[in-house]
């Protein structure tokens, strides 16, 4: 009897391994097939989708694509929402509403809601679950439900080279300069100058940089070691694959 039980357990484990490989292999194929690129846009017809740009599968809510421009080499992670206009099927005019520059990264579960113009500059990186919106509810009339009152809309502009941490929120009317850092969970409104770090809700400036004084207050961590000149991406990948003993 123990022998039969062991045989049955081994057969069950073998079947589970086979099923697991099949499921993971199938899901990998589905994700690859469902990804959106310039060459394989599927049903999405963006105003522009640049070379090397990829929207991972499954995508979040996407509508108003004829008014959305995506630059080259953008990375749009899974379940990212990109919308232009308040609802699908509207004619938004001749100009783009939502524009992503080259090399923009939107982390998993992020939302970019552009009822009026939203511009994200090149090489801006967003962590997971970042929320960027040009629209907010109004509550002027105390006798009407907030959700039934006409919302307020203001353009949003995020400069190039910014970094938005996990869960950051950018509200209507916000204008971020170049190379701005937004801390995780910060809620940003208004103008933020170039080379500033903001944190909190509402966000406030906690660090700035200029040519004369450098970072103020001074950074508490040493600068990272730069990659030596002449090192190729292939060499970096080879280094990453080394074991601790080989390194």
CA angle centred on 60, ends 168 and 69, rounded to 5°: 80
- Give me the active site residues, please: 137
- Give the Cα separation of 41 and 101 in Å (integer): 19
- What backbone torsions phi and psi does residue 233 show, to the nearest 5 degrees? -55, -35
Contact 126, 156 (CB under 8 A): no
CA angle centred on 81, ends 77 and 83, rounded to 5°: 135
If we measure between CA atoms, which residue out of 92, 95, 20, 102 comes closest to residue 63? 92
Tokens standing for residue 64:
């108003």
Residues 6+ apart with CB under 8 A from 125: 104, 105, 162, 163, 164
- Residue 173, classified by CB atoms within 10 Å of its CB into exposed (0-12), middle (13-18) or buried (19+), is middle
- Give the Cα separation of 161 and 225 in Å (integer): 20
């Amino acid at each position: 009897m123990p022998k039969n039980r062991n045989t049955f357990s081994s057969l069950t484990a073998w079947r589970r391994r086979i099923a697991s490989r099949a499921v993971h292999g199938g899901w990998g194929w589905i994700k690859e097939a469902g990804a959106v690129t310039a060459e394989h846009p599927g049903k999405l017809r963006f105003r522009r989708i640049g070379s090397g740009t990829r929207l991972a599968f499954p995508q979040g809510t996407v509508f108003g694509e004829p008014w959305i421009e995506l630059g080259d080499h953008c990375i749009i992670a899974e379940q990212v929402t990109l919308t232009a206009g308040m609802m699908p099927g509207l004619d938004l005019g001749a100009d783009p509403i939502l524009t992503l520059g080259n090399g923009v990264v939107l982390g998993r579960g992020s939302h970019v809601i552009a009822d009026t113009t939203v511009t994200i500059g090149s090489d801006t990186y967003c962590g997971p679950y970042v929320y960027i919106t040009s629209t907010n509810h109004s509550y002027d009339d105390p006798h009407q439900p907030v959700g039934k009152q006409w919302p307020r809309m203001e353009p949003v502009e995020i400069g190039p080279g910014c970094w938005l941490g996990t869960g950051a929120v950018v509200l209507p009317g916000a204008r971020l300069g170049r190379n701005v850092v937004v801390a995780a969970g910060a809620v940003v409104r208004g103008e933020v100058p170039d080379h500033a770090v903001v944190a909190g809700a509402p966000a406030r400036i906690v660090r700035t940089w200029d040519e004369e004084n450098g970072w103020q207050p001074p950074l508490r961590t040493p600068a990272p070691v730069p990659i030596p000149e002449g090192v190729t991406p292939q060499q970096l990948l080879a280094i990453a694959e080394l074991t601790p003993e080989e390194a």
